[in-house]
Structure 1
Amino acid sequence: MNATSTTPTRQSEATPFALPARSLEGVGKRPFGIYIHVPFCATRCGYCDFNTYTAGELGTSASPQSWLEGLRRELDLAAEMTGAPAAKTVFVGGGTPSLLGGDGLSDVLSAVRSSFGLASGAEVTTESNPESTSPEFFDALRSAGFTRISLGMQSAAQHVLKILDRTHTPGRAVAAAKEARAAGFSHVNLDLIYGTPGERDQDLDASLDAVLSADVDHVSAYALIVEDGTAMARKVRRGELPAPDDDVLASRYERIDSRLSEAGLHWYEVSNWAKAETADSGDTRCRHNLGYWDGGDWWGAGPGAHSHVGGVRWWNVKHPARYAEQLALGELPVGGSEDLTAEDEHMERVMLTARLRTGLPLSELSASERLSAEQVVVDGLAVIENDHVVLTDRGRLLADAVIRTILT
């Protein structure tokens, strides 16, 4: 199958948005989550291309209050359209959600409760910048009903943080993780970025030492990608910074996997590691992200947020002012959508499940794709476990190439 052979049916923002009846069939029976996008940041990091805005960039056109009012309206409209299935997971991302403070994030979760409600045992996560957290902040989140914290650490090396334009001090992320655990959060994640220009082996080792000292149950580690349009991309283009080196990135990934595995954190997705589940800890993996990877449904609320329900994907307008304006008129702030074909959904299923430790089911592959998968196994990039194609250690380094091979 040619991975680029189909073009989804697209709907422009000029067309009022409505989900077809077929996409609503089974809503609530499949995993259903809510993603909340907080578009505010104190400063703009040089590598970031997310839909975020500083106060200076927004001026008086939008505020956290107008955003929250819009968010409540969007969630109410979303619940009306979908039949309000109880959310099994909630993930507040950004941007910098912790800039809202404990009270602001409590208001966000209250808006989810009043529109969709939370399923029993729901996972409720918020991202946080270590510098905008405190013991009181974590206490407030715990009281509000949050169950999981994800902290942006990136690196323990000051000069690496400076290149990334991160404002937190190297030790603050570990301190924040310990404060979150002291507040009663058993599920705490630390994010790392590796391969930043100027990062040395000893810098990565220091970062891993710091992560392990925090005793968290989940770690995400992402290779630096220089995105077009970012300040970092301009520096690389001008020769002020070298581009990330693929061989260095591979070596760093292997080092991360080795250190985390030795410490009892095992990969369950190419860029994510978690401690083993126990009777006390429950599932330590990020259940919200597993919903994405396993083909579940989710409603993404907030400026620029993406959603997927029953084979229909859509995204909101990006600017917070326009987002609030459309909702004030009683309209969903949809900027565009696409109706996925069966071939599109199959391609995405292969792309996502192949990256999981549980692997890609052979039953979902066509005859030609199975032959391609067999070649991947012969090449040592995957093995067959319980009728699933599972990436080997070397295959994880070449995951994108493995997926292309299977799909073409």
Structure 2
Amino acid sequence: MQNERATDTQAALGTDTAPAGIYIHVPFCRAKCPYCDFYSVTDSDRIPNFVDALLKELKRRRGRVPSADTVYFGGGTPSILTPGQIERILGAVHDAFNMMPDSEVTLEVNPGTVSLDSLHGFRNAGINRLNIGLQSTNDRTLGFLGRIHTAEQARNTYRWARQAGFDNVGLDLIYGIPGQSREAWRAELADVTRLKSEHLSCYTLTLEPGTPLADRVNQGRIPSPDEAVVGDLFVFTCKWLDDHGYRQYEISNFARQDPGKGIDLRSRHNRKYWNFVPYLGFGPAAHSFLDQCRWWNHRNLAAYLADVAAGRLPVAEKERLTRDQQLIEAIYLGLRQTDGIDTVDFRQRFAIDFFDYFRKAMVPLIDGGLIQLASRRVRLTAQGMRLLEHVADVFIQALE
């Protein structure tokens, strides 16, 4: 790193007083999807023990943050829990933390695990936002991805969500499937935009090491996704969704625009991860971030249960972010968002003038049409979003 330095206090991102996020990792699935590397198990008999342990873990961290305004149930498949279990967990969250009255409370839902009755139950339990793992509207693609639901079940789940009273619904999609054409993906986007959900997350298929899908590609049984094709699909996706009323705010996330209503439909919880706002994670493999420290729980249900039963916090490891790490993450996470890097905020955080410090690195990026300067912000262009890793590397190398 160059010689400019500041203390950890000066480098702190100034967001520790913002309301925190609470993340609950539910480590159970009916079946493991071959592309997924999130921690989960299929032994549903251990759900009651997990819920009891989770309540104890929440109690042990009581008051760890001054306030919180989001709760996010992820996994795994959180909708495998009953509404009664979700209600118990939310009760423990409210007992442990000062939750704001307008808190965003999200439940990830697999269409193969819910009914109209259960969605009514989740709504009554305190869930006010659903994130439905649609993944595709094409049954062949769903089969390739190993999903347990059909396209029709997914559409039914969306209709049931509306009938159950949910007015904030997000849908997840995966694209860049080997052999997927632009026309096939256009048809899926058309299907989804007709539903008019409040939020869309469109992720490119990633070959995570150690997953069955990655193994099949490495063995030559299926082709690897074509990077050039996936890049073209990314640009096409952003343009299509913008034309159909969805504003991109992060590389994979889009929120419906409601002119005149003044409603922000972006995920409040996920934005905490990208903006260094504190969050506390509960359950196996859950991560937490507070006071420039990051820690994570055991990625093993048995170890998690054993630690909680013994009266210990189930923390596997922890780290304090150095100033160098904070700088790198501020650049990378800032570039992921369409708002870009706020250079005034950056100067306040790190005592660095962004334009002076990175002027030489920015010239080829500007000339290449990868970044643009707008008042106090540095943003990626559409082409720059496609080449995020390259652009971020240019900035990070300038720090060395």
- TM normalised by structure 2 equals 0.90
> Identity over the aligned pairs, expressed in percent?
35
- Does the 8 Å CA contact 2:15/2:277 hold for their aligned counterparts? no
- Does the 8 Å CA contact 1:32/1:296 hold for their aligned counterparts? yes
Matched residue, 1:121: 102
Matched residue, 2:42: 54
Partner Cα separation in structure 1 for residue 241 and residue 163 of structure 2: 23
Map 1:174-193 to 2 at 5 A: 174-193=155-174
* Structure 1 residues 281 and 75: CA distance shift in structure 2, 3 A: farther
Q: Which runs of 5+ in 2 are unaligned?
A: 3-8, 347-353
215, 240, 262: which one pairs with 2:196? 215
Query: Matched residue of 1:228: which SS?
Result: coil
126, 129, 154: which one pairs with 1:145? 126
Structure 1 runs of 4+ off > 6 angstroms?
A: 21-28
Q: Which amino acid aligns with 2:103?
A: A
- Does the 8 Å CA contact 1:24/1:309 hold for their aligned counterparts? no
Is the deviation greater in 266-275 or in 131-140?
131-140
- Does the 8 Å CA contact 2:16/2:290 hold for their aligned counterparts? no
After superposition, give the CA deviation of every residue in 1:151-185 in whole Å (9 maximum; x if it has no partner).
11111111211111111101222321222122222
Matched residue, 1:5: none
Matched residue, 1:17: none
200, 205, 211: which one pairs with 1:224? 205
Map 1:316-395 to 2 at 5 A: 316-363=297-344, 364=346, 365=354, 367-395=356-384
* Structure 1 residues 281 and 101: CA distance shift in structure 2, 3 A: farther
56, 65, 84: which one pairs with 1:73? 56
Query: Matched residue of 1:33: which SS?
Result: strand
380, 387, 394: which one pairs with 1:398? 387
After superposition, give the CA deviation of every residue in 1:364-385 in whole Å (9 maximum; x if it has no partner).
2373324313432221111111
After superposition, give the CA deviation of every residue in 1:193-233 in whole Å (9 maximum; x if it has no partner).
11112433333123212211211011001111111111111
Displacement after TM superposition at 1:350 (Å): 0.9
Matched residue, 1:30: 18
Partner Cα separation in structure 1 for residue 191 and residue 13 of structure 2: 47
Q: 2:85 matched to 1:135?
A: no
* Structure 1 residues 148 and 85: CA distance shift in structure 2, 3 A: same
After superposition, give the CA deviation of every residue in 1:21-41 in whole Å (9 maximum; x if it has no partner).
999998862240100000000
Query: Matched residue of 2:151: which SS?
Result: coil
Q: Which runs of 5+ in 1 are unaligned?
A: 3-20
* Structure 1 residues 272 and 163: CA distance shift in structure 2, 3 A: same
After superposition, give the CA deviation of every residue in 1:78-116 in whole Å (9 maximum; x if it has no partner).
125x2x423211111000000003222222212211211
Partner Cα separation in structure 1 for residue 154 and residue 242 of structure 2: 21
Matched residue, 1:40: 28
Q: Which amino acid aligns with 2:395?
A: I
Query: Matched residue of 2:36: which SS?
Result: coil
- Does the 8 Å CA contact 1:33/1:87 hold for their aligned counterparts? yes
Partner Cα separation in structure 1 for residue 318 and residue 355 of structure 2: 28
Query: Matched residue of 1:171: which SS?
Result: helix
Q: Which amino acid aligns with 2:225?
A: P
Is the deviation greater in 281-290 or in 261-270?
281-290
Is the deviation greater in 362-371 or in 151-160?
362-371
- TM normalised by structure 1 equals 0.89
Displacement after TM superposition at 1:68 (Å): 0.8
Query: Matched residue of 1:79: which SS?
Result: coil
Displacement after TM superposition at 1:317 (Å): 0.6
- Does the 8 Å CA contact 1:38/1:95 hold for their aligned counterparts? yes
Aligned length: 383
Partner Cα separation in structure 2 for residue 281 and residue 359 of structure 1: 22
Matched residue, 1:250: 231
Q: Which amino acid aligns with 2:194?
A: S
Q: Tell me how large the CA RMSD over aligned residues is.
A: 2.3
Q: 2:99 matched to 1:110?
A: no
Is the deviation greater in 263-272 or in 378-387?
378-387
After superposition, give the CA deviation of every residue in 1:226-257 in whole Å (9 maximum; x if it has no partner).
11111111111111110111111012112211
Query: Matched residue of 2:112: which SS?
Result: helix
Partner Cα separation in structure 2 for residue 120 and residue 277 of structure 1: 23
- Does the 8 Å CA contact 1:23/1:309 hold for their aligned counterparts? no
